[in-house]
Structure 1
Amino acid sequence: MPLWIPITIAAAFLQNLRSTWQKQLAGDLSATAATYVRFSFGLPVACVYLWGLNRLGGIPLPSPNAMFFIYCAIGGFTQIIGTFLLVALFAYRNFAVGTTYSKTETVQAALFGIIVLGDHPSAGAVAAILVSLAGVIAISMAKSHLTVMNFVRSLTERPTLMGIGTGAGFGISAVCYRAASLSFGRDDFLMPAAFTLVTVLIIQTVAMTIWLGLREPSQLAGTMRAWRVSSLVGLAGALASMGWFTAMTIENAAYVRALGQIELVFTFASSHFLFKEKTVRLEFIGIALVICGLLLLLFLR
């Protein structure tokens, strides 16, 4: 089994765990501050990881070039923009439409990967991505009680455009992170991925610290008051990011993000079997499509 597969599955599981802890901050912090926590409290963890690879693992630090920093900056800011758009969607009555369209991230990552890196997915991988995308959309529609007609009619509405923008932000950032790691031209993948992660987190932490300091200073202090949960969010987020960045250094970013949708399977399993939440037929169909898409990706990529 290729190494990027178990790394991606582990990253998806850790991301699901991070999201669970992040929700605990929702009552005390704004959505922006809760997002900030994943960067600022994750940065020290990523720095320790980078230090360990260098000092304990004996892996030399890379020599970054101008393109590396350009890719890191674009990736870091597009991820922030994508997150902001996703948060802003909740202010709209029909936010569910926008969040559903944001799931086009994997398709957009494939397109940006072709443009930026020349990462052309195989026909089997394209089919797998589209099948899993159909499953993700079905799950989103089931949870938000959307109808097919409402989904189609919303193509020109602002929430739809914001949702597509959210997917673009996450898709561009994924491709840029892979491009940044590959810009070193090294055969190893752990150090380039770790160095890229730390650089991106520094950019994001500095940018969001300035933003919160100017716009929501009380929230900036609130992140420190909630340091216990914030530290858990930062730890899980950093470990998940280590997995994402490493997997995307090894393999096409679109493949990694597509396989990462296994997070939905984890979420579905916990809500259905552990919390005994009611599941409708469309959700079962969606999960089945996601699983089929992931299997197609693994065997036909």
Structure 2
Amino acid sequence: MLWIPFTLFAAFMQAWRNALQKQLSQDLGATSVTLARFILAGPLAALYLGALYLWSPLEPLPHFSWRFSIYIVGAAACQIVATALMVRLFQLRNYAVGVGLAKSEAIWAAVLGTLFFGSLLTPLGWLGVIIGGVAVALLSGLRNIHGAMSPNTLLLGIASGLTFALTSLWVREASLLLELSFPFSAAWVLALVVSLQTLVLVAWLGLKEPASLVGLARRPTLTALISLCSCLGSIGWFSAMSLESVALVKTLGQVEVLFTLLISSYYFKAKLARQDHWGLVLIVLAALCVMWA
């Protein structure tokens, strides 16, 4: 049951990371804000991995196969795309709506995991995923799609959720391939994925948008906080997904929306709508279902 506290911790840290990213997105473009998530996370993930080996020096080193490498590259690329799409959502709609739409990840993870990754869920697990999807719909204002929400916003949210789901599924598969004890497999995958993302984004911005790197350098505190929250959240997510199926982890992880709404209310002074309260009740019910599943 260790996956439960790891997931709750990850959701809490991710909610704060998203809040800080929203703040940074008011001044910088989507690619720059995406890089802020990874720029210090690579070294932090390497330190975490090194600390684990200092704690347990007899743990063997992993063997990397071609299949493992494909999962790492795919996960790194999808997470970059997913994060950029979500940052774009922050710039189109309010903070809570952007995060809520991206949380369709749990539904995508359940469907894709069943179809292509042999990750079967119990009936109670599927019930939790479905309830969580309804909760996200309420919290995202999908019932007002013909009003306040534009089709562009909806498509960006679905695409973000889909690419986040692919990231998580490939991360779990990579962790399972290493056949190391917990939490070493998750730590290796985290260090490799985040380091690759950092190198790719720094190289891209250095060639295409060098001014964006200067913009991040002018906001060192905010950039460092985003990277720290991102790395801590990723430790939680990667550890939880090495222990339990992605669909269940991400369904429980929808409690992030609860943290997001609280941050949106108290930090950004946004008002909660009536359907938000029903959505939060359903998220709690979905969380109970997947924990029992």
TM-score normalized with structure 2 length: 0.89
What is the 5 A alignment of 1:80-229?
A: 80-89=80-89, 102-141=102-141, 147-148=143-144, 150=146, 157=151, 159-186=153-180, 188-229=181-222
Partner of 1:295: 288
Partner of 1:44: 43
Partner of 1:284: 277
1:212 deviates by 1.2
Secondary structure, aligned partner of 1:120: coil
- Of 27-36 and 253-262, deviating more is 27-36
**1:134/1:245 CA distance change after superposition, 3 Å:** same
Aligned equivalents of 1:97, 1:8: Cα separation in 2: 21
1:107 deviates by 1.0
Aligned equivalents of 1:76, 1:234: Cα separation in 2: 16
Stretches of structure 2 that go unaligned for 5 or more consecutive residues are none
1:221 deviates by 2.2
Partner of 1:238: 231
Aligned equivalents of 2:54, 2:91: Cα separation in 1: 47
TM-score normalized with structure 1 length: 0.87
Residues matched between the structures, number: 291
Aligned equivalents of 2:153, 2:207: Cα separation in 1: 27
Secondary structure, aligned partner of 1:183: helix
Identity %: 36
Amino acid at match of 1:7: F
**1:192/1:288 CA distance change after superposition, 3 Å:** same
- Of 172-181 and 264-273, deviating more is 264-273
- Of 9-18 and 223-232, deviating more is 223-232
1:6 deviates by 0.6
Secondary structure, aligned partner of 2:178: coil
Secondary structure, aligned partner of 1:164: helix
Partner of 2:68: 68
- What is the root-mean-square deviation of aligned Cα atoms in Å? 2.7
Secondary structure, aligned partner of 1:150: coil
Aligned equivalents of 2:175, 2:33: Cα separation in 1: 27
Contact 2:22 2:90 (C-alpha < 8 Å) held by counterparts:
no
1:149 deviates by 6.4
Secondary structure, aligned partner of 2:192: helix
Aligned equivalents of 2:9, 2:95: Cα separation in 1: 30
**Deviation by residue 1:252-276 (Cα, 9 ceiling, x = unmatched):** 0111111111111123345557877
